[in-house]
Amino acid sequence: MKSPVNKLARLGLVVLAGFATTALARNDEYQRLLDRFNAVATDARLANHAPVAMDRARESLAALKEARRSERELWAYIAERRIDAAQAAAEAELLEGQRTQLQRENDRLQVAVARRDAEQARAELERARLQAQIRAEEAERAQREAEAARAEGEQAQQAAEAARAEANQAKRMAAAQAKAAALAKKEAELEAALSDKPAKAAPTQSAPAKPQAKPAAKKKSQPPATR
């Protein structure tokens, strides 16, 4: 037969074991939630986001740790929800920051694209201006060449006309010279013919000196006769 003392001792051990199991369970729940919170709080991406939500989750963990047995389940629920909220808020802020960063990057790229398009437009405008200037210079050069060609043509025409006039003048001079030569020749022939007639009549006369004196006398008497 067992003594009452042994029964009480065994009962006390059972109670202590139950308390220990309950305390261990409470510690396991707290540790699980604390590990979750630390995983969020120490995440390099999330650590600097949602500080208010992080503080509320930390406070709920502290309340869970100090809560009485009847309140532990409630505080465990509250702590887990606040940890979830802190994580969601931190992730939302992270995504918003990334979106803002992407928006800034997109704005920067848009500005760079606009600047590049403006530079391309300016370059295209400058290229068009240079092409127009080149075309204008080519047109001016072509006009000058055409004017020079016309001037050369006019000079050539004038030179041809001058050459024709010179040739005509030369022909006229040659004709005049030929005519003058012909007249001079004819005159020489006439003079020669006139000088040859007295020489042919001299042999028929008996005294050449007297006939030569007679014409001289006649020449002297001619002026009075003409008066």
- 45-83: per-residue pLDDT in tens? 988 899 999 999 999 999 999 999 899 999 999 999 999
Question: Per 3-state DSSP, what percentage of the chain is helix, strand, and coil (rounded to 5)?
Answer: 90, 0, 10
What DSSP line would sit under 64-94, residue for residue?
HHH--HHHHHHHHHHHHHHHHHHHHHHHHHH
- pLDDT tens-place string over residues 139-156: 999 999 999 888 888 888
CA–CA dist 8, 17 (Å, integer): 14
CA–CA dist 88, 194 (Å, integer): 154
- pLDDT tens-place string over residues 102-152: 999 999 999 999 999 999 999 999 999 999 999 999 999 999 999 988 888
Question: 3: alpha, beta or left, given left = phi > 0 and alpha = psi -120 to 50?
Answer: beta
Give percent above pLDDT 70 in the chain.
Answer: 75
Token pair for 206: 């008996």
| Residue type present at position 195 | S
